[in-house]
Structure 1
Amino acid sequence: MENKLPAWDDLRVLLEVHRGGSFLAAGLQLGLSTSTVARRIGALEKDLGRALVHRTSQGVWLEKEALELIALAEGFEQSLRAHRRDGGGSSPYAGRIRVSLPDGFLVGAAEAATRFRRLHPETLVEVISELRFVDLSSREADIGVRGGRSSSPVLIDKPLGDVVTGLYASAEYLARALPKRFLGADDYREQDFVVEDETPRGQGPSQWLIQRGACRFPFRSNSMEARLHAAKGGMGLVMLGVGAEQEHLGLIRVRLETPLPSLRFYLTMHKDLRKVPRIREFAATFEAVFAEYLAAQAEAEAPPRSKRPRARVR
């Protein structure tokens, strides 16, 4: 007798048991009693002809076959969410767009959403900034902004451009620790820096500072907002995209003997989404907003133009 194919309702229960670590937690998440959760798991095990979940006093542990089913259930769950975002209404722009990006890009994403919805009010935009970037290949989000190219064959990357970065600090910190407001090659080891959280394999912008001798990091955070708040409070120098300081009064740019490397960013999406009108056009809108920012950066970095002498009127 062939085993039955598992039902999605039962797979969903198994998924929540795995996530919650117990039948009780799964039941609370799904609005089911513990006995109903146990009955669903039992029906799943009966259909497949094997044990999947073992209950212990410390919770549950799952067989290898159960973990394989959970991976399938997670993929199906993401597909369902993506399908809900893609569907709805007679307009090709009706539906949701989910955007994942670093928190330093939140203002730009909000501006792109504002411009886009003036033309397409039937589109709903969700912008998420997370410590863990979502998986674009499984459609956890539709569009992502990343600091490097993806390795997945189902994703496409389009370069947005290079962001010029600088070091900034409060007037109080500069008066106390760097009155000349100039950072020479030998000055890094004597300064405090506010940086992102440590990353694996020695990656991240803070590594540039370490290579130049920086060793004092009184505050670390994956939140740009938290880093800027700390820098405004006088905790040290913070790295920021040139031009963005106009939105953060109280931060003063420091002159550098050796400029910091620029950061290249990419717009990333699933290749199947290029034909979805609202995804394609929102991506173009975001690119336009980003291009305006880069143009403002270039203008801020350009040397002042020499003024032509005016002809004297006799």
Structure 2
Amino acid sequence: MENKLPAWDDLRVLLEVHRRGSFLAAGHHLGMSTSTVARRIGAIEKDLGCSLVHRTSQGAWLEREALELVGLAEGFEQSLAARRRDRGGGSPYAGVVRVSLPDGFMPAAAEAAARFRRLHPETLIEAVSESRFVDLASREADIGIRGGRSSSPALIDKPLGEIVTGLYASEDYLSRCLPSGFLGARDYGPQDFLIEDGVPHRQSPTQWLLQRGAVRFPFRSNSMEARLEAAKRGMGLVFLAVGAGKDHPRLVRVGLETPFPTFRFYLSMHKELRRTPRIRGVAASIEEVFAEYMAAQAESEALFRPKRIKAR
């Protein structure tokens, strides 16, 4: 890092590649073509005489030297924002809030964002669906929703609630394949299940199904929306958090002899960021939406009366 300092316009491109995880996404945000993004990154690498960014089919990852430049770019960006505020041209809520969360929570994130921006339209909110735990301590995101407490002392965690998940299917599928509306211990083998793509981990819904003898998986997708649509079209059974069941009236919850385990979710953020008005405000809006979701879940649980059949 001993050569000349890159220009801000190039640093801004590197910053967006880091934030968005790919040249394509960074280009969309900046209004540039992918080739222009690549050219800007190449210019920085040429100036510094080293490789900074590696492109793969899964996205882009940055070398340690590139992360140092990202920190520099973030500092410069914050300085520009502070200068605009000092001149009276800004608001303490102006800027971007990046939220990292599982795909299934995207509707809740959209609702929280809509509510917050009615009050503060100057805030820009980015909700990113990621299967990995982003490094909040290194500020890869401002807010994270995750199924476990953080281990870093730099972060704070606020419980959002314990999520109950059920299996749902269309009335058409149930009439054809599961008229009892109940899954007993020996009923998993003949049924079709719509699952997340990829290798299942120990606590994943797919692993839970495999342990109970499920073998038929006609549709796999990393998109929760796609799995729900497939279920509505009668392709099989799909996992859905019961608090969201009211939003999908075309799907019917089935009874389970062994309920799927519940998981407690947390809202996590860097301790220093909780004093930033826009981040604190978006976090509060997310908590409000989740509180309503937990109330809907409790109501759904109270009303649900699964059919029971005798063990075979």
Report the equivalent of 2:149: 149
How many Å apart are 1:250 and its aligned residue? 1.7
Q: Does 1:73 align with 2:69?
A: yes
Aligned to 2:271: 271
Q: Aligned partners of 2:167, 2:128: CA distance in 1, in Å?
A: 26
Q: Is 1:204 equivalent to 2:204 in the alignment?
A: yes
Q: Any idea what SS the aligned residue of 2:219 has?
A: strand
The Cα of 1:228 is off from its aligned counterpart by: 0.5
Q: Does structure 1 residue 172 correspond to structure 2 residue 183?
A: no
Structure 1 counterpart SS, 2:258 = coil
One-letter code of the match for 1:194?
A: L
For residues 205-244 of structure 1, what are the structure 2 equivalents within 5 Å?
205-244=205-244
User: How many angstroms does 1:220 deviate by?
Assistant: 1.4
| RMSD of aligned Cα (Å) | 3.6
**SS of residue paired to 1:8:** coil
Partner of 2:6: 8
Contact 1:82 1:139 in 2 (8 A): no
Name the residue aligned to 1:117: 117
C-alpha distance in structure 2 between counterparts of 1:146 and 1:252, whole Å: 27
Q: Distance in 2 between matches of 1:165 and 1:33?
A: 44
Partners of 1:228 and 1:127 lie apart in 2 by 20
State the distance in 1 between where 2:41 and 2:287 align.
49
Which one is further off, 183-192 or 3-12? 3-12
Residue 287 of structure 1 and its aligned partner are, at CA, apart by 0.6
Contact 1:27 1:33 in 2 (8 A): no
1:41 to partner: Cα distance: 5.4
- How high is the sequence identity, in percent, across the aligned residues? 57
What's 2:48 paired with? 44
The reply to whether residue 28 of structure 1 matches residue 18 of structure 2 is no
For residue 48 of structure 2, what is the amino acid of its counterpart?
L
Q: Deviation at 1:43?
A: 5.2
Q: Distance in 2 between matches of 1:96 and 1:279?
A: 9
Q: How many Å separate the matches in 2 of 1:148 and 1:166? A: 20
| Cα distance in 2 between the residues matched to 1:237 and 1:277 | 42
**1:217-256, CA deviations, whole angstroms, 9 ceiling, x for partnerless residues?**
1211111001101111222110101132222232111111
Distance between the aligned counterparts of 1:133 and 1:84, measured in 2? 30
Counterpart check, 1:290 vs 2:297: no
Name stretches of at least 5 consecutive residues in structure 1 with no aligned partner. Answer: 46-51, 54-65, 305-314
CA distance in 1, matches of 2:76, 2:67: 14
Task: State how far apart, in whole Å, the 1-side matches of 2:7 and 2:106 are.
Answer: 37
How far the C-alpha of 1:97 sits from its partner, in A, is 1.6
Change (3 A) 1:146 1:179: same
Distance 2:45 2:260 in 1: 56
Q: Distance in 1 between matches of 2:241 and 2:108?
A: 13
Alignment TM-score, normalising by the size of structure 1: 0.74
**Deviation per residue, 1:255-288 (Å, 9 max, x gap):** 1122211122111112210111221122112111
Contact 1:79 1:139 in 2 (8 A): no
Larger Rg: 1
Matched position secondary structure for 1:113: helix
How far does residue 162 in structure 1 lie from its aligned partner after superposition? 0.7
- 3-state SS, counterpart of residue 160 of structure 2: strand
1:87–1:95: 8 Å Cα contact kept in structure 2?
no
Q: Is the 8 A contact 1:168 1:253 kept in 2?
A: yes
Map Cα deviations across residues 92-115 of structure 1 (whole Å, 9 max, x no partner): 222222222223222222222222
Q: Is the contact made by 2:157 and 2:266 (CA closer than 8 Å) also made in structure 1?
A: yes
CA distance in 1, matches of 2:130, 2:67: 22
Deviation at residue 296 of structure 1 after TM alignment: 1.3
SS of 1:202's partner is: coil
Query: Kindly tell me: are residues 69 and 110 of structure 1, through their superposed partners in 2, closer, same or farther at Cα, counting changes over 3 Å?
Result: closer
Q: How far apart, CA to CA, are the structure 1 residues paired with 2:46 and 2:198?
A: 44
Equivalent pairs counted in the alignment come to: 275
Secondary structure, aligned partner of 1:160: strand
